[in-house]
Amino acid sequence: MDKKHSLKDTGCKKCKCALILNDLNLKLNLGVTAKERAKKQTVLVTAKISFPRLPLACKSGKISDAICYYTLIQKIKEFCKDKKFTLIENLGMQLFVLIKKNIFKNCKLSLRVAKQYPLKELPQSVFEISD
């Protein structure tokens, strides 16, 4: 059978879905001391944008009906450019606010900021925030 299905036909009208930007690799100045902030460090950012219902983009295939993750990533990079952050908590909160302003109003956001090797014996420290 080669029958075409619409989203309505599949029963996905009430499906839960999310757009996940997984481990966006950023190099930025982060640290408690000025010495630590002087050298760029690797931070991985993961954002999960949960939709209350299927986005129109699922059916239309149009970028205008979607959250453009390329544009969102560019805004994050531009925001972090030439800034210095002392704590991942502060960086995380600022990124959370930035992303919330750039996604659909009815979406929920979960954000994870992971600093790579903050201490030689600690491979990662993580801050998470969500609404």
Mean pLDDT of 95-118: 96
| Interatomic CA distance for residues 104 and 85, integer angstroms | 27
Question: Structure pTM?
Answer: 0.88
What residues pair up with 28 in beta bridges, in sequence order?
41
pLDDT(28) > 80: yes
Tokens standing for 120?
């030689």
d(CA 12, CA 92): 33
Tens-digit pLDDT profile for residues 36-82: 999 999 999 999 999 999 999 999 999 999 999 999 999 999 999 99
Whether 26 contacts 80, CB under 8 Å: yes
Give me the domains of the chain, ranges plus CATH numbers: 15-130 (3.30.1130.10)
Q: Are 75 and 102 in contact (CB under 8 A)?
A: yes
The mean of the pLDDT values for the chain is 91
Mean pLDDT of 2-20: 66
